[in-house]
């Protein structure tokens, strides 16, 4: 094998695509997190509108290269606008660009990870994608503030620009699955037919050559819609705690704002358990739908227990951190499994309607639904949490969130049984 062929194999390998897409997801959420306090509504609107369009288009073209490059350009545009803008209207435009980039990177990044994952590695691959999303959201505000304090506006934008440059290099090097089938050196017609056959059991690639693409109505499938409902729930709970935890610690424990911000580590650090959990459940042959439903049910216990963390003593603070960490454990691990479930649901829909995945796909549209679910949760969560905390208090808020999680978990368990 020549050096060129080896380099080609690296560029088209599953793990290289995984690294490239995880870095893209991390970059997008990192940059979003640095400016999350500015004009959230504009971002959410662009994300909700852009996601289904990007998903629909990406599923009907041979390569996702063009929409992905569009995503990088919109990130660069929003970063430049924030750097040089000086008016509210300009900042609104910047947030719209961020929302569009979130739609592109969120949809295509997860779809491309799912495309490359085999059935036995799907859970771990999606866990890495979920991990990238979570840590991008966490580290964005932290690094953004530190860089601005020490190096000013140039320092705050220098790191995102460098990350975007790495993103573009990785995307140029990366070879997509469908492109790899066409471009791979010395690949025979027989091997092309064989690879297509792996993705489309029962029918060969020639028989699928005229198979239609999936219509929008095909995605209103019970299994996929339950996964989307679960994603809305997880995103709502995450966003609710992100909006209320710092204020609660400042009011109750008199923590400084910096220490209050560190409480997010309790929500996000447990995300590292999502990878070994995905491997363990795969080896055991457990149904991930039942695992996610069970996690949602059990997460209601630490959420309801947070009412006993009101009180400014060391014991109350230890209890608070412990319970928040359990909430983070249940939410982050179930989110990774839910993203894998979205992929499984789409593959089931593709098989049901005889889609040739070497020519068309439903992953873009499936993860457009997932992206929209995350955006809806980011709107619903703070709204519910803010209203209930101000009107009914902290205990009622945590109890309502716990009941919501338990109810969706039970519903999912019953429907998927």
pLDDT band (50, 70, 90) for residue 192: very low
Confidence (pLDDT) at 64: 72
In this model, does residue 209 exceed pLDDT 60?
A: no
**257 and 391 co-located in one domain:** yes
**400 and 315 co-located in one domain:** yes
Confidence (pLDDT) at 327: 94
Taking residues 78-106, report their average pLDDT: 75
On whether residue 210 sits in a domain, the answer given is no
In this model, does residue 35 exceed pLDDT 60?
A: no
Confidence (pLDDT) at 177: 60
On whether residue 171 sits in a domain, the answer given is yes
Residue appearing with tokens 């900042």: 91
Greater pLDDT, 264 or 223: 223
On whether residue 198 sits in a domain, the answer given is no
- Contact in structure between 53 and 371 (CB atoms under 8 Å): no
Greater pLDDT, 302 or 206: 302
Confidence (pLDDT) at 20: 81
What is the rounded CA–CA span in Å between residue 116 and residue 14?
A: 5
**264 and 391 co-located in one domain:** yes
Tell me the three-class secondary structure of 96-156, residue by residue.
Answer: HHHHHHHHHHHHHHHHHHHHHCCCCCHHHHHHHHHHHHHHHHHHHHHHHHHHHHHHHHHHH
- Contact in structure between 28 and 43 (CB atoms under 8 Å): no
Taking residues 344-367, report their average pLDDT: 82
Greater pLDDT, 355 or 301: 301
**95 and 26 co-located in one domain:** yes
For 234-252, how does the pLDDT look when each residue is reduced to its tens digit (9 = 90+)? 989 988 888 888 888 888 9
**141 and 248 co-located in one domain:** no
- CATH number of the domain residue 229 falls in: 1.20.1250.20
On whether residue 204 sits in a domain, the answer given is no
- Domain of 394 in residue numbering reads as 217-417
- Contact in structure between 137 and 284 (CB atoms under 8 Å): no
On whether residue 178 sits in a domain, the answer given is yes
In this model, does residue 263 exceed pLDDT 50?
A: yes
Among 187, 206, 236, residue at a domain's last position: 187
**160 and 272 co-located in one domain:** no
**274 and 224 co-located in one domain:** yes
Q: Which residues contact 273 (CB under 8 A, 6 or more apart)?
A: 329, 332, 333
**49 and 149 co-located in one domain:** yes
Taking residues 92-96, report their average pLDDT: 76
- Contact in structure between 23 and 169 (CB atoms under 8 Å): no
Confidence (pLDDT) at 142: 62
Confidence (pLDDT) at 206: 40
Confidence (pLDDT) at 258: 66
For 134-190, how does the pLDDT look when each residue is reduced to its tens digit (9 = 90+)? 777 666 666 666 676 677 766 667 777 777 778 777 777 776 665 554 444 444 444
What is the rounded CA–CA span in Å between residue 137 and residue 267?
A: 12
Greater pLDDT, 271 or 338: 338
Among 165, 187, 209, residue at a domain's last position: 187
**28 and 127 co-located in one domain:** yes
**230 and 182 co-located in one domain:** no
In this model, does residue 199 exceed pLDDT 70?
A: no
Among 187, 209, 232, residue at a domain's last position: 187
**147 and 284 co-located in one domain:** no
Taking residues 328-345, report their average pLDDT: 89
pLDDT band (50, 70, 90) for residue 119: confident
For 368-399, how does the pLDDT look when each residue is reduced to its tens digit (9 = 90+)? 898 899 888 888 888 888 889 888 999 999 99
**295 and 360 co-located in one domain:** yes
Mean pLDDT of the chain: 78
Work out how many domains the chain is built from and give that number. 2
On whether residue 201 sits in a domain, the answer given is no
- Contact in structure between 56 and 366 (CB atoms under 8 Å): no
């Amino acid at each position: 094998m020549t050096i060129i062929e080896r380099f080609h194999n690296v560029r088209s390998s599953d793990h290289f695509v995984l690294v490239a897409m995880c870095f893209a997801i991390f970059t997008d959420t990192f940059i979003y997190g640095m400016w999350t306090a500015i004009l959230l509504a504009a971002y959410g609107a662009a994300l909700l509108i852009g996601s289904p369009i990007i998903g629909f288009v990406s599923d009907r073209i041979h390569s996702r290269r063009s929409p992905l490059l569009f995503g990088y350009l919109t990130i660069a545009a929003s970063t430049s606008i924030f750097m040089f803008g000086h008016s509210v209207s300009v900042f609104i435009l910047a947030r719209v660009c961020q929302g569009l980039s979130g739609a592109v990177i969120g949809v295509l990044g997860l779809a491309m990870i799912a495309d490359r994952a085999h059935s036995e590695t799907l859970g771990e691959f999606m866990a890495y994608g979920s991990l990238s999303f979570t840590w991008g959201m966490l580290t964005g505000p932290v690094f953004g503030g530190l860089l601005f304090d020490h190096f000013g506006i140039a320092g705050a934008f220098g790191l995102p620009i460098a990350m975007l440059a790495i993103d573009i290099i990785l995307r140029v090097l990366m070879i997509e699955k469908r492109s790899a089938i066409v471009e791979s050196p010395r690949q025979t017609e027989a091997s092309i037919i064989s690879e297509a056959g792996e993705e489309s059991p029962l029918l060969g690639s020639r028989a699928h050559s005229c198979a239609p693409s999936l219509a929008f109505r095909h995605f209103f499938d019970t299994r996929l819609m339950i996964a989307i409902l679960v994603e809305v729930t997880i995103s709502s709970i995450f966003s609710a705690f992100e909006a209320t935890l710092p204020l609660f610690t400042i009011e109750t424990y008199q923590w400084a704002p910096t220490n209050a911000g560190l409480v997010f580590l309790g929500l996000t650090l447990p995300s590292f358990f999502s990878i070994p959990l995905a491997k363990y459940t795969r080896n055991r042959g457990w149904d991930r739908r039942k695992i996610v439903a069970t996690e949602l049910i059990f997460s209601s216990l630490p959420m309801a227990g947070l009412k006993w963390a009101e009180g400014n003593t060391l014991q109350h603070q230890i209890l608070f951190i412990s319970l928040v960490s359990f909430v983070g454990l249940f939410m982050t691990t179930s989110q990774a499994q839910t993203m894998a479930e979205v992929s499984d649901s789409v593959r089931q829909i593709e098989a049901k309607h005889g889609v040739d995945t070497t020519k068309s796909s439903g992953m873009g549209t499936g993860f457009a639904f997932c992206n929209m679910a995350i955006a809806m949760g980011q709107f619903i969560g703070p709204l519910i949490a803010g209203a209930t905390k101000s009107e009914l208090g902290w205990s009622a808020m945590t109890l309502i969130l716990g009941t919501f999680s338990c109810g969706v978990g039970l519903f999912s368990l019953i429907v998927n049984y």
